[in-house]
Amino acid sequence: MSINVNSTSPILAALQDLNGSGQSNGDAGLIGGQSSSGAASTGASAAVTLGQNGSLDLSAMDADAMSLNRTTSIADLAVGAGQSVASLLTKLKDEATAAQSPTLDDTTRQALNGDFKSTLSQIASTVAGAGFDGVNLIDGQSTAGLTAGAGGVSLSSQNLTLGGPVVTLAATSSLGTPTSATSALSDITNSLAKIETALNALSDQANQVSAHSAILNQFTGVLQAGATAGADGGVDGARLMALQVQQQLSGQTQPIANQSPQMVLSLFR
């Protein structure tokens, strides 16, 4: 199932122009005598056109913002749940390693197995509870994620259920014997390697939504300024603000993109 986020094509096209602003720092007539690239000119022109249309465009931007907020909640919840699953798998790995010893007495083995089963249940409930507004990106139920049409914002699902393609450890695994503990440890090690890739994918997509939301917020400010500017100064004011947004965005999107690998690597320290 695919769920569409409200999107206004002209606005999203303008956002895409602004998002490519790292290649342009300004306009010759407005900022420091620098020349503007095609992307900068297009982005600024789009801002002027939209800004002159006032409240209608702002209303459309509000609708986009609401949809992006929903998308952000879905993505963030999936990432947070995925990180919890990775942490729980690390705990299971320690328990399975200890349970491999053939010298464990029955009481100790039963205690380890009880904790192991409890953690397995916690993983299952974490995955099942990762949905927001009817969308769960990690429970294996959705074959398609969430898309935002012309804006290019999308989230694809990652199946983190027990016994699935990422977390290969089965819900029926146990530490009842040294042999079963060794088998479980092998599945856990495999799952930890795969979940790192899955978390990277989820985090990257969530960061794309965050970056898109930041652009939308900046662009909303441009529209508001264009709507309230006087008839004589409205166009130049909107153009200047659009170019300022471009400059701000050139240093904004890269730190957002770098959050994903740092966040995932912290789980394995």
Residue 8 has pLDDT above 70, yes or no: no
Residue 52 has pLDDT above 90, yes or no: no
73-84 pLDDT, tens digit each: 889 999 999 999
What does each C-alpha distance from 127 to 19, 36, 88, 168 come to in angstroms? Answer: 33, 48, 12, 14
Higher pLDDT, 154 or 36: 154
Phi and psi, residue 211, nearest 5°: -65, -40
Examine the pLDDT at 183 and tell me if it is beyond 90: yes
**pLDDT at residue number 61:** 62
pLDDT single digits (tens) 228-263 = 554 445 556 556 666 665 565 555 555 555 555 554
Among all chains, which residue has been given the structure tokens 């441009």?
A: 222
Instruction: Say what the pLDDT of residue 217 is.
Output: 72
pLDDT confidence of 214, banded at 50, 70, 90? confident
Cα–Cα distance for residue pair 79/201, rounded to 1 Å: 9
Question: Bigger pLDDT: 68 or 19?
Answer: 68
135 - beta bridge partners?
A: 132
Residues 262/255, Cβ–Cβ less than 8 Å: no
CATH of 8-268 given 1.20.120.430, 1.10.10.10, 1.20.1330.10, 3.40.50.620: 1.20.1330.10
Instruction: Give the residue, 232 or 63, on which the prediction is more confident.
Output: 63
**Two structure tokens written together for 104:** 């464990």
Nearest to residue 119, comparing CAs of 153, 85, 150, 146?
Answer: 85
86-100, 136-150, 200-214, 249-263: the lowest-pLDDT one: 249-263
- Closest Cα partner for 40 from 17, 64, 74? 17
Helix, strand, coil in percent for the chain, rounding step 5: 70, 5, 30
> Would you say residue 153 has pLDDT above 90?
no
The predicted model scores a pTM of: 0.66
Domain ranges of the chain: 8-268
Least confident window among 6-20, 43-57, 122-136: 43-57
The total of other beta-carbon atoms located within 10 Å of residue 66's CB is 12
Indicate whether 131 pLDDT > 70.
yes
The pLDDT confidence band at residue 205, using thresholds 50, 70 and 90, is confident
> What is the mean pLDDT of the segment spanning 183-209?
94
Range of weakest confidence among 4-8, 108-112, 262-266: 4-8
**pLDDT tier at 206, thresholds 50, 70, 90:** confident
Above pLDDT 70, what percent of the chain?
A: 53
Model confidence band, residue 86 (pLDDT cutoffs 50, 70, 90): very high
